[in-house]
Amino acid sequence: MLSASANKLSKLKEQAEEYASLIMEELDPENLGYIELWQLEALLLQRDVYINYSRPLSTASVAWSQNLSSFMPKNLFRRLSRSLQCFMLENWQRGWIILLWVIAMASLFAWKFYQYRKNRAAFQVMRYCLPVAKGAGETLKLNMALILLPVCRNTLTWLRSTRARSFIPFDDNINFHKIIAFAIAVGIIVHAGNHLTCDFPRLVNSSPEKFAPLSSDFHGTKPTYKFLLTGAEGVTGILMVILIAISFTLAARRFRRNMVRLPAPFNNLTGFNAFWYSHHLLGLVYLLLLIHGSCLYLAHKWYEKTTWMYISVPLLLYIAERSVRTCRSQHYSVKILKVLVLPGNVISLIMSKPPGFKYKSGQYIFLQCPTISPFEWHPFSITSAPGDDHLSVHIRTVGDWTKELKRVIAEGDDSTSVDHQARLVHIGNLDQRGQPRLFVDGPYGAPAQEYRNYDVLLLVGLGIGATPFISILRDLLNSTKTAEEQMDSNTETSRSEDSQNSFTSSSLTPGDKKKSQRNTNAHFYWVTREPGSFEWFKGVMDEIAEMDQKGQIELHNYLTSVYEEGDARSTLITMVQALNHAKHGVDILSGTRVRTHFARPNWKEVFTKIASKHPYSTVGVFYCGMPMLAKELKVLSHELSHKTSTRFEFHKEYF
């Protein structure tokens, strides 16, 4: 009980007598009723021996086939060359996109600069202020068009399934969106700044002789500074700057994540909702941009007013995307079949699968509950496998919307099954009286959906970040089980060579053959602080352990609230854990067949073991969790790719 208290394991304190009896059973086989201190000391010193009694489900049997030092070039030039080569392999997709974008902006700026530099009349009055402002304005048109593309989720999801994924980094779409936003901010400063502080004053204060060639552009009257600001071009420009400033400010990380504390009533200007609704102001910005671009003073021909040429196609694409989303969400209305209330403020929603709804493991969906808000959509990773006849998500109730969803569901009809433990059971239809309606939008592409493209998988989930990988694990096992059943069926019907060839050609398409050759191994690391978290996927873990007889998937649970293995404060817990796992095959912390490790994983050791076990393979490293761990995993992926024959490709997803 003291060890359980020191490690904040309240569940073990309740079962202390049972585990004390387990120690007595091990050390007192003759039923003397007591043990001596030296026996307990010997038991603790033989910790490693007892741990080896545990089923090898959660440990990797590593053959140290690679001498890591042999892959490190000793020559300084070769090391630098290898590092540069790996850097290029890692970043060439981002590099060519950024390079193309920069070249496009530079070309447009130079073209527009040269065009207005040739306009001698205007140049004599406003000098270089005018061509610089117009050049910046041209880059703004391009960026206002491009910034819509990274947030066209349906288009990106479709492109992920094409060959475009081999040369376009779709995982960085939001980063590219932010880079373009920064370029827009710079463009606004240059464009508006030059107009307001340079060429407008020069135009207003120009001599009659210099202004005469430009008089026809202003109806024969020299404009005042107030006229330039209050005209259609000036008003629309000022309004756009104000709206963009509001939208960009509330989209900043500190505002978006509610890290800025403002006094009432300004406290509503922080948080995700403020970011979401303020971003919709940009719809008005695009309308003002079209007006602004059609009211130019020094351009009169329609083909010289190019704003609509830039933004029309991306804007129509984005509007089409939002329309499809609205129509599809109305079609994908789902019924709640079962609700699992789990420890750690997590609920699992098991819903009916909409007709025609197809998805890949690793993808996510948006959920809307009209009872709470008809406008709010929230993303959640899909935890069911594509072959399941239902759709499931795990939701952690930490925000206003998720807490309200839990409350609304709890107020529903009593016929909804509310369990306190997650189990894989048959799901039947439930009476829906009183249950809230849910709309589903998606599925949408995510980094984890690319898992089929790798020989080996390293899946790392932090807390609730394990959700996208549960679907992947189940899909891998379902595929393996289906393939084995087909093979058994084929063997029973005919053992001849011809029939085997016929089966192979008819039951496996070329794409299936390719898939069957990959993903032979997966390593899943789940790191969490709370022991109750293991209840979230307990049934899934047990099912994987029972189905996976070939060691295809290695499961590793890590509980960070317990002192690391080898610490005196956790030694007795480790011993009891090993004894119970050896005798009953069940872990005392997770309640599954997967043995729980203590503290945080030694990630360098994890990567090294995988590199040694899978030489000359490509390992897809997929991480979902808080950003703090992503940097370490990315660095290790690069480092081990340099030092070993195994190539690690890192993908991250934050929640």
Summarised one tens digit per residue, pLDDT across range 67-81 is: 444 445 556 777 677
Measured on CA atoms in the order 427, 429, 433, 435, is the torsion positive or negative?
A: positive
Q: Given the DSSP bridges, would you call strands 521-528 and 456-462 parallel, antiparallel or unpaired? A: parallel
Question: 510-561 pLDDT, tens per residue?
Answer: 444 444 445 568 888 988 888 777 778 877 777 777 665 566 788 888 888 7
Query: Any idea where the domains of the chain sit in the sequence?
Result: 91-328, 332-445
pLDDT at 492: 59
Is the per-residue pLDDT at 426 higher than 70? Answer: no
Question: 305-331 pLDDT, tens per residue?
Answer: 888 899 999 999 999 988 888 888 777
When pLDDT is cut at 50, 70 and 90, the band that residue 580 belongs to is confident
Identify the CA nearest to 170 among candidates 319, 323, 363, 358: 363
Measured on CA atoms in the order 524, 528, 533, 534, is the torsion positive or negative?
A: positive
Q: For residue 256, give every residue at least 6 positions away whose Cβ sits within 8 Å of its Cβ, in sequence order, or none.
A: 250, 270, 271, 272, 275
pLDDT at 23: 78
pLDDT at 417: 44
What is the widest separation between alpha-carbon atoms in the chain? 117
| 3-state DSSP assignment of residue 382 | strand
When pLDDT is cut at 50, 70 and 90, the band that residue 9 belongs to is confident
Domain 332-445 listed as CATH 3.40.50.1820: no
Identify the residue with better confidence: 285 or 161. Answer: 285
Residue 11 CA, distance from chain mean position: 33
- pTM for this entry: 0.75
Identify the CA nearest to 205 among candidates 224, 187, 190: 224
Identify the residue with better confidence: 358 or 65. Answer: 358
Identify the CA nearest to 536 among candidates 398, 655, 392, 440: 392
Is the per-residue pLDDT at 618 higher than 50? Answer: yes
Neighbouring-strand partners of residue 654: 625
For residues 554-578, give the mean pLDDT. Answer: 78
Is the per-residue pLDDT at 429 higher than 70? Answer: no
For residues 351-378, give the mean pLDDT. Answer: 86
pLDDT at 124: 81
Which tokens is 512 given? 């299936």
Cα-Cα end-to-end distance for the chain: 36
pLDDT at 105: 95
Q: Which of 184-188, 322-326, 598-602, 634-638 tops mean pLDDT? A: 184-188
Identify the residue with better confidence: 456 or 574. Answer: 456
When pLDDT is cut at 50, 70 and 90, the band that residue 424 belongs to is very low
Q: Which of 136-140, 150-154, 379-383, 472-476 tops mean pLDDT? A: 136-140
| 3-state DSSP assignment of residue 409 | helix
Is the per-residue pLDDT at 499 higher than 50? Answer: no
Is there a contact between 202 and 127 (Cβ–Cβ < 8 Å)? Answer: yes
Is there a contact between 55 and 593 (Cβ–Cβ < 8 Å)? Answer: yes
User: In which residue are the tokens 């379902």 written?
Assistant: 478
When pLDDT is cut at 50, 70 and 90, the band that residue 390 belongs to is confident
| 3-state DSSP assignment of residue 367 | strand
d(CA 257, CA 603) in angstroms, rounded, equals 29
pLDDT at 46: 67
Least confident of 8-12, 22-26, 70-74: 70-74
The overall average pLDDT reported for the chain is 79
Helices (H), 427-537: 467-493, 497-507, 510-516
When pLDDT is cut at 50, 70 and 90, the band that residue 58 belongs to is very low
Question: 208-246 pLDDT, tens per residue?
Answer: 888 888 887 787 788 888 888 888 888 999 999 999 999
| 3-state DSSP assignment of residue 333 | strand
Is the per-residue pLDDT at 97 higher than 80? Answer: yes
When pLDDT is cut at 50, 70 and 90, the band that residue 507 belongs to is very low
Is there a contact between 298 and 112 (Cβ–Cβ < 8 Å)? Answer: no
